[in-house]
């Protein structure tokens, strides 16, 4: 019979690691897809926690004076994992914003479908862009960066030592909002500018040839022009994904610095 014993402090230390890791897995992009069973997510968090448990030696145990102290530390670890994952997840919404602008210009604003990764209603082009970004994330190994960044947080922010600097976190979030608009508009700019030019041409034609039904003609031309530009610019998606991945890294670093 195998006699396996361990101090209660080791169990507490491991559970705190698992709290931060599991919170990250449930919100980080690629890992948090809704079509992935929750048991798989919990199992992945448990497996990563075991690896990090042996990588973070020597272990610094935390002495809890009361149950409330332990609950506070657990909540801080969960919040730390959620904030780090949120920093990366916010960046994936950039392509949804770009897709929404494109579909508004093309006339597809009302044509929504369920995003299988989030199980929420999203525009057609937004879902297309998001699926392409997820595919490029798998190809480029960006998910490996998420795991390594999560592991680095246990060096920069030891277990139980999470300190929230709300001013720094708020400043990082406000700066992200500016980058959110800039990157989103850069992604949708080819379609946006082309259809804006098409609208100007249709406006001139409406004055020159008022007998033409510009409403019926314009809808068809917008859809055809938008799909053509999307087909032409599909080769630029890796560059757009690179901008988003760079923004993800900046957000993760900024949020980690806000908890040190």
Q: What is the pLDDT of residues 60-84, one digit of tens each?
A: 777 777 788 888 888 998 999 898 8
Q: Is the pLDDT of residue 3 over 60?
A: no
CA dist 209 and 201 (Å) reads 12
Integer CA distances (angstroms), 106 to 18, 111, 195, 198, 225, in order: 46, 11, 8, 11, 8
Q: Is the peptide bond before 58 cis (omega within 30 degrees of 0)?
A: yes
- Among residues 182, 175, 164, the alpha carbon closest in space to that of 84 is found at 164
Q: How confident is the model at residue 4 (pLDDT cuts 50, 70, 90)?
A: low
pLDDT higher than 80, residue 259: yes
pLDDT in tens, 168-186: 888 888 888 888 888 888 8
pTM, to two decimals: 0.82
What's the chain's average pLDDT?
83
Asked if pLDDT for residue 161 goes beyond 70, the answer is yes
| DSSP secondary structure letters along 113-162 | EEETTTTEEEEHHHHHHHHHHHHHHHHHTHHHHHHHHHHHHHHHS-TT--
User: pLDDT-derived band of residue 248, with 50, 70 and 90 as boundaries?
Assistant: confident
Q: What is the pLDDT of residues 41-50, one digit of tens each?
A: 888 888 988 8
């Amino acid at each position: 019979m195998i006699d396996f014993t361990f101090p209660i402090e080791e169990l507490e230390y491991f559970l705190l690691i698992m709290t931060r890791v599991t919170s990250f897995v449930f919100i980080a992009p690629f890992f948090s897809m809704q079509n992935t069973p929750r048991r798989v997510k919990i199992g992945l968090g448990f497996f990563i926690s075991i690896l990090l448990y042996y990588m973070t030696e020597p272990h610094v145990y935390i002495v809890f004076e009361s149950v409330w102290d332990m609950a506070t530390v657990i909540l801080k670890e969960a919040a730390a994992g959620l904030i780090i994952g949120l920093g990366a997840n916010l960046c994936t919404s950039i392509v949804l914003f770009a897709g929404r602008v494109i579909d508004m210009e093309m006339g597809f604003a009302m044509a929504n479908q369920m995003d299988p990764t989030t199980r929420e209603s999203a525009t057609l082009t937004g879902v297309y862009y998001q699926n392409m970004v997820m595919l490029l994330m798998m190809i480029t190994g960006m998910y490996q960066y998420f795991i390594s960044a999560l592991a680095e947080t246990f060096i920069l922010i030891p277990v139980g030592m999470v300190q929230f600097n709300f001013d720094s976190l708020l400043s990082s979030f406000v700066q992200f909002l500016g980058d959110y608009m800039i990157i989103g508009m850069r992604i949708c700019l080819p379609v946006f500018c082309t259809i804006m030019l098409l609208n100007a041409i249709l406006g001139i034609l409406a004055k020159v040839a008022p007998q033409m039904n510009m409403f019926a003609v314009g809808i068809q031309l917008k859809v055809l022009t938008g799909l053509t530009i999307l087909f032409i610019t599909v080769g630029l998606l890796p560059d757009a994904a690179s901008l988003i991945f760079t923004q993800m890294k900046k957000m993760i670093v900024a949020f980690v610095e806000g908890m040190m």
